[in-house]
Amino acid sequence: MTRKLNKAIFAKQGLIVSCQALEHEPLHGGDAMAKMAKAAFQSGAIGIRTNGVDDIKTIKEAVNLPVIGLIKRDIPGSDVLITPTLDEVVQIIAAGADIVALDVTDREDRLVKAAELIDFAHKEGIAVMADVSTYEEGIAAEKLGVDFIGTTLSGYTPYSRQSEGPDLDLVRRLATDVQVPVVAEGRIWNPEEAAAALQAGATYVVVGSAITRPQLITERYVEAVRKVIGSEA
């Protein structure tokens, strides 16, 4: 049954936690991401972002929070990874996600393809989050009719800003010039950066690796410790 499109999915501003583990990562499989989602819910998160049909389903069963669903798929010869085709959109909707996240970057004729995926999701009553990497892509995404614009891919396309921290300038520019909610996402490693993203104009902030990917969190601590050890050697 087709759902009625609801753009007022989140009850308030706040933190969305990305609970994802790829196949080669220690927490992939089982109920690990559902437990992460429960922990996020207990601590006040207003939503979850997750990858893959199984995790979408188990998280929807585990917590009463809106879920942004995506499917990462490697296609030979393509750099588009996040929900690249209609097949993934169909699977995400069938799994019960409240929002479909997909790549809306200006590469590989993606804007044309994305328009078809956005239209399909809306006809099924599902909102769409555009993952973009530049201001121009965000403006184009709004024209295509997306319901949320995320700065997710800033730094992950060769022509976008490359930095260690979040692209707050992109958040600020988009928040000033678009009417749909802006979601700050990408390289947010501490609470201060999350707060700064909201102050820059984001309606929502997505944090993933700094909360739910222990191997990356550990890596940062190990690197800091090794610098000290090395300086004292």
**Domain locations along the chain:** 14-232
Instruction: Please tell me the predicted confidence (pLDDT) of residue 230.
Output: 81
Q: What is the DSSP string of the chain?
A: -PPPP-S--SSSSEEEEEE---TTSTT-STTHHHHHHHHHHHTT--EEEEESHHHHHHHHHH-SS-EEEE-B---TT----BS-SHHHHHHHHHHT-SEEEEE--SSTTHHHHHHHHHHHHHHTT-EEEEE-SSHHHHHHHHHHT-SEEE-TTTTTSTTS---SS--HHHHHHHHHH-SSPEEEESS--SHHHHHHHHHTT-SEEEE-HHHH-HHHHHHHHHHHHHHHHHHH-
Q: What is the pLDDT of residues 107-143, one digit of tens each?
A: 999 999 999 999 999 999 999 999 999 999 999 999 9
Average pLDDT over the chain, rounded to an integer: 96
CATH of segment(s) 14-232: 3.20.20.70
Average pLDDT rounded to a whole number, residues 26-54: 97
Q: What would the pLDDT profile of 174-188 be if each residue is shown by its tens digit?
A: 999 999 999 999 999
Cα of 183 vs its chain's centroid, Å: 8
The pLDDT tens digits of the residues spanning 41-80 come to: 999 999 999 999 999 999 999 999 999 999 999 999 999 9
Least confident among 6-10, 139-143, 169-173, 196-200: 6-10
Q: Kindly report the number of other CB atoms within 10 A of residue 168's CB atom.
A: 20
Q: What is the pLDDT of residue 187?
A: 97
pLDDT of residue 7: 67
pLDDT of residue 231: 66
Work out the burial of residue 182: count CB atoms within 10 Å of its CB; fewer than 13 is exposed, 13-18 middle, 19 or more buried: buried
Tens-place pLDDT, residues 86-111: 999 999 999 999 999 999 999 999 99
Kindly calculate the radius of gyration of the chain based on its CA atoms and give it in whole angstroms: 17
Neighbour count for residue 87 (Cβ, 10 Å): 11
d(CA 197, CA 57): 29
The model's pLDDT over 189-203, given as tens digits with 9 standing for 90+, comes to 999 999 999 999 999
In this prediction, residue 8 carries a pLDDT of: 77
Of all residues in the chain, what percent carry a pLDDT higher than 70? 96
